[in-house]
Homo-oligomer: A and B are copies of this chain.
Amino acid sequence: MSQDEDDKRLTLKSRKTESLMFVIGLFLFQVFMIVLFAIWVRYDTNARYGGGFDQVQDEIDHTYGYFRDVNIMIFFGFGFLMVFLRRYGYSALGYTFIISAMVAQWSVLLMGFVEFILHNESFRHELFYFNVETLLNGLFCAGAVMITYGALLGKVTPLQMLIVGILEPMFYFLNMYIMEKIKAFDVGGGMTIHTFGCYFGLTVCWFITNKKAKTSPENAASYVGDLFAMAGSLFLWMMWPSFNAAIAPRGDPQLRAIANTFLSLTGSTIATFIVSRLCGHFGHKLDMVHVQNSTLAGGVVQGVLAHLNIGPASAISMGFIVGTISVLGYVYLTPFLAKRFNLQDTCGINNLHGMPGFIGSIAAVIAAAHAINDRSLYSDVEFNILFPAGDEQAKRNAAMTFIVVGVGIVGGLITGAILKLVRKIGGLRKEEYFSDHAFWHVASDYPSGFGSGDDSETGPSSHSVELESKEH
């Protein structure tokens, strides 16, 4: 017991160091943002366009509704989707909140930076004008970071998440830069958000997975947590057409983006219920993990090409295929990766974002090749807008598919190595994995000792309470 007490005292000291580093890091980040915004960032304004047309309002009218929906997806959707863990609800919501808010600011600067490099503008003489679409792009970047968080859920300190929130956007916008340069298309971030965010996340995950995490009894859902997670999942599902249509060209492409995404989502939902029952407990029982996640695969798979003329039947089929693969991934691949490759992917992002995103990227290559061969699919005007690289489009998109995976892995290696360096600073004790009480003041009915028998007396929660009473 005395040994245990010593341990706790050390943990608390180390945690205060972690807190201080988190606080200082976040504060410096905020000061840095404010200074650079003051120097260099301005609102878009009608005065820049001249003429009588209210360009600014037009942008709001067309973009703000989508911005709002994507806002819901990032903060509410991703946040609540990760509340399924029975003792980790505060953390799922809290870190989603703070990291996404940070990334939303950070992205405006990074986007301006990329645009300036691309257009050879001078940072000294020019200002960066932003509008609602700029803010929307920041939410997209936050989406990638939240996907990454899905693999790290329950295993990281706030300081580690802060580091991810600072580093990952740099790699995200590196992809943006490359994509602009090689003229690949990616209307709903199938490559740059889903595939990139996933493989970045899995790489980082590899660094932080350990035996304590893998054997934690707290990596489990609760009944109420599952209901909350469904709220997150459903809002992601319902808003996904907005996600994929938000930056699609107006007119026909925008309708296709909405329609393909919606139909594809219905396809993946149907596949989920079929395969979940086939692979289920007792050979027939549905599993909430599948219903919360695999139903969304149809949105992911449309991420690159939702706006193309693939036909509604293809949209349904694509959704059905990735829904099937996603459930199979949860049943077979996730446990295999955890066992053999030390990759404990908490939310199964490889099944929801990785594989469907990659499949969607390949489908976009095929669709581009098809468009080049069959010019009747698009009018000439539309073709030029949709395929900026012209006859090279299929190759460019193929290249980009592998670039995002590469950038994801390289970025993940760098970030993961840094996370490993700081893992001892306020790091998690065995009983703190997948548990809020390490970093949060918890309510008196914080669930303790779920199904862990005698543990309810001496388990994590009562440890925490004990520690608190000593300190006060």
Contact = CB atoms under 8 A, between A and B. Distances in A.
B98 A255 contact: no
B23 A277 contact: yes
Contacts of A426: 284
Interface in A24-63: 26-27, 29-30, 33-35, 37-38, 41-47, 54, 56-57, 59-62
B440 A255 contact: no
A217 to B, nearest CB: 10
A18 interface: yes
A313 B38 contact: yes
B267 A440 contact: no
A371 interface: no
Nearest to A470: B282
For A27, A72, A132, A444, the residue with the greatest tally of chain B CB atoms inside 10 Å of its CB is A444
A15 B286 CA distance: 12
Given A16-B282, A65-B65, A76-B235, 6 more contacts: A37-B313, A97-B269, A101-B295, A281-B471, A285-B440, A286-B441
Contact of A266 (B90, B102, B272, B317): B102
Interface stretch (A79-87, A146-154, A195-203, A347-355): A79-87
A19 B37 CA distance: 56
Nearest to A33: B316
A317 B239 CA distance: 31
A5 to B, nearest CB: 15
A223 B445 contact: yes
27 contacts: A19-B283, A26-B274, A35-B313, A37-B312, A41-B312, A42-B312, A45-B252, A54-B250, A54-B251, A56-B254, A57-B255, A64-B241, A76-B231, A86-B443, A90-B226, A101-B266, A105-B270, A130-B259, A131-B255, A131-B259, A132-B259, A135-B258, A223-B445, A284-B439, A288-B441, A444-B450, A444-B451
Contact of A277 (B22, B227, B235, B283): B22
B443 A220 contact: yes
A293 interface: no
Nearest to A282: B471
A225 interface: yes
A238 B71 contact: yes
A76 B45 CA distance: 34
Copies in the complex: 3
B34 A313 contact: yes
A312 B441 contact: no
Contacts of A234: 75-76, 79, 93, 97
A207 interface: no
Interface of A: 12, 15-16, 18-19, 22-23, 26-27, 29-30, 33-35, 37-38, 41-47, 54, 56-57, 59-62, 64-65, 68-69, 71-72, 75-76, 79-80, 83, 86, 89-90, 93-94, 97-98, 101-102, 104-105, 108, 130-132, 135, 158, 220-228, 230-231, 234-235, 237-239, 241-242, 250-252, 254-256, 258-259, 262-263, 265-267, 269-274, 277-278, 280-288, 291, 295, 309, 311-314, 316-317, 320, 379, 426, 439-447, 450-451, 467-468, 471
Task: Output the residue of A29, A76, A270 with the most chain B CB within 10 A.
Answer: A270
Contacts of A242: 68
Nearest to A38: B313
